[in-house]
A and B are shown apart, each in its own frame.
Chain A
Amino acid sequence: MTSRIILQLALSGLSIGSIYALVGLALVLPFKASGIVNFAQGEIVTFGAYLALILTGLGLPYLAVVPLVLIGAAAFGTVIERLLIRPIVHQPEFTLVIVTFAIGFIIKSAIRLHWQDNTFSIEAPFVGPPLVLGELRLNPAYLVYIATTVLVVVALLFFFGHSKFGKAMRATAIDPIAAKLMGVRIGSVFSAAWALSTMLGASVGLLLAPVIGINPEIGHLILKGLVAAVIGGFTSLGGALAGGLLLGLLETYAGAFFGATFKNLVPFGVLILLLLLRPQGLAGASSVRRV
């Protein structure tokens, strides 16, 4: 096993890991704001991909489709939050988990009704022959994935660190009642968290669609995002990023060294082990409510 192969694997591990990280971030955001994990997030990814399919069908180029899909996803997220999530936000966790699951199920079946199980493809400028750099072959899509994720994380850190609304969101995450008393409109904070997270989800759809094609099963990716978020402890953005990258690397190396069976077992093995041994995630600030 030469160092070239190790590097090559690291690159593909990081690129797939950055996709997992984006899904993980999309799961962590609304959880931090309102304590709800959106199990429909996978279908939001699917939604983004199909919205891109519709818009490219109208003859728009990929770069024009991107902002439109993001706006559409933000609107979709806000509507879901206002209509379906807010009325039940004080129900037991059982209801919350199953409701978001049901939302995802409904989106998926609606998509399947219209497009069946066919796989569609769309064009994007970053799909092309690999760039050769010395001994390494770089798939341009991989570079776009990693760059997008870095950009998103920097933007989020800036937003939460420096903008007024970002600070209000952080305050709400720490203590909603105190934030409300300080004049934060926590209703808008919840909506914004959902809009942001659905935008992230849809951006994953946008990134994946040109490379792996569009079909109703893209949403299955949510499992990897969940694992990424759990590795990071479910409450920290940096943790979700690190978790996603770590999972991507683990999966790629496991696949390369021990075969596909082992690769498929890795994410769920990691998930169960972590939840049972260290539910606060690898990084650790514990906020798991134990009973």
Chain B
Amino acid sequence: MHTRTMLILLGLALLAALPLIATSYYLYLVELAMINVIVAIGLNLLSGNCGQISLCNASFMGIGAYCTALCTTRLGLPVLIALPSGAMTSALLGAALGYPARRLSGLYLALTTLGFLELVGVVIEEFPEITGGIRGLKVPRPEMFGYSFQSNVSLYFFVLVLTMGAITVGYNIQRSRYGRAFDAVRQSPFAAQALGIPVARIKVIAFSLNAGFAGFAGGLLASVVGFIDPPEFGILTSIQHITFIVVGGLGSVAGSIAGAVLLTALPEVLRGVQEYSELIYGLILLGTLMFLPQGLVGVVAKFDGLRSAKPPAKEPAYGAP
């Protein structure tokens, strides 16, 4: 059998067996890591493959989280409807932001998304009768078909199954013609246009997909944590998401997974020196960008000539012909 298939099966078996040995706290951590994996995969499609900067990923996560939470608490919808509606709302708003932003690049896109991030934060805080404002919102455990995921193990499997689904979808999107179009748009928008790729539409699709993934993850986050409030979806979280994909490797699903898992585990590893963890996070981000621009995936590829997604060492600057 293929080494990679073996590795994936081994990983799945380990994850499935985890509830036998892990305490509920570690299960919770693994759930958070899986949610971050979903976010990272979505963001990597937009930033890593399509080359667009987004500083408002946390907002899309927040939109998904609030929408899912409100659908379950206010409308009493089951989670199988609430989660997709959160993801869909987020994806629609992603398209709404992506549509006017499709002609902006680099710096101006960073500014637009930063403005959007702040706007969403202010809106959540200023309408407390709907969103709970700065006091946050309590979210019940998810429910479907009359079954409520009250036990930690059942919730763990719920998240596990959905995460595997999201990874599969992300991986397939990346290898579809859309994924290849994303890569083409990043490497040279002009060449892509010349080859008949509708650059503007592809960017809107990338924005929307990313927002969908982030919104889905946000809905899961709300269900798993049981509580959401605005600071959770600020610029820090956006930077954290970017760190996942930069450290893991831009444009690679394996990189998204590795980055999200390692960096979610990092605060645990640093438990003795908790107060340094933010600083270390920043240093890791800076150090990776300066010395390992291809992330962990690049390091692995260098060591054993793996044929995984490996972007060329030198890329043209954004928009350069």
Contact = CB atoms under 8 A, between A and B. Distances in A.
Majority-rule SS of B interface residues: helix
Interface string A247-265: 0000000000000010011
B107 interface: yes
Given A113-B279, A291-B105, A103 B286 contact: yes
A272 interface: yes
A92 B289 contact: no
Interface in A274-288: 275-276, 279, 288
Contact of B126 (A105, A106, A261, A291): A261
A95 B199 CA distance: 22
Nearest to B105: A291
A87 B318 contact: no
B108 A94 contact: no
Contact of B276 (A97, A113, A261): A113
Interface string B236-267: 00010010001000000000000000000000
Interface in B73-129: 100-101, 103-108, 110-112, 114-116, 118-119, 122-123, 126
B285 A102 contact: yes
A291 B103 contact: yes
A101 B281 CA distance: 12
Contact of A97 (B104, B106, B112): B106
Nearest to B279: A109
Given A93-B53, A97-B107, A106-B279, A223 B47 contact: no
Given A265-B119, A271-B115, A289-B319, A84 B286 contact: yes
B290 interface: yes
Interface of B: 47, 51, 53, 55, 100-101, 103-108, 110-112, 114-116, 118-119, 122-123, 126, 189-190, 199, 239, 242, 246, 275-276, 278-279, 281-283, 285-286, 289-290, 293, 315-319
Given A230-B111, A275-B104, A291-B105, 9 more contacts: A91-B289, A92-B51, A92-B316, A92-B318, A93-B53, A94-B106, A109-B278, A265-B122, A268-B116
A87 B293 CA distance: 12
Contacts of A272: 112, 115-116, 119
Interface of A: 37, 39, 84, 87-88, 90-95, 97-99, 101-103, 105-106, 109-110, 112-113, 223, 226-227, 230, 261, 264-265, 267-269, 271-272, 275-276, 279, 288-291
Majority-rule SS of A interface residues: helix
A110 B316 CA distance: 34
A291 B283 CA distance: 33
Contacts of B110: 37, 39, 93, 97
B104 A101 contact: no
B115 A98 contact: no
Given A97-B110, A101-B239, A276-B112, A106 B283 contact: yes
B107 A93 contact: yes
24 contacts: A37-B107, A39-B110, A92-B316, A93-B105, A93-B106, A93-B110, A94-B47, A94-B318, A97-B53, A97-B106, A101-B55, A101-B239, A102-B286, A110-B279, A230-B111, A264-B126, A265-B119, A265-B123, A267-B118, A271-B111, A272-B115, A275-B112, A291-B103, A291-B190
A279 B104 CA distance: 9
Contacts of A226: 111, 114
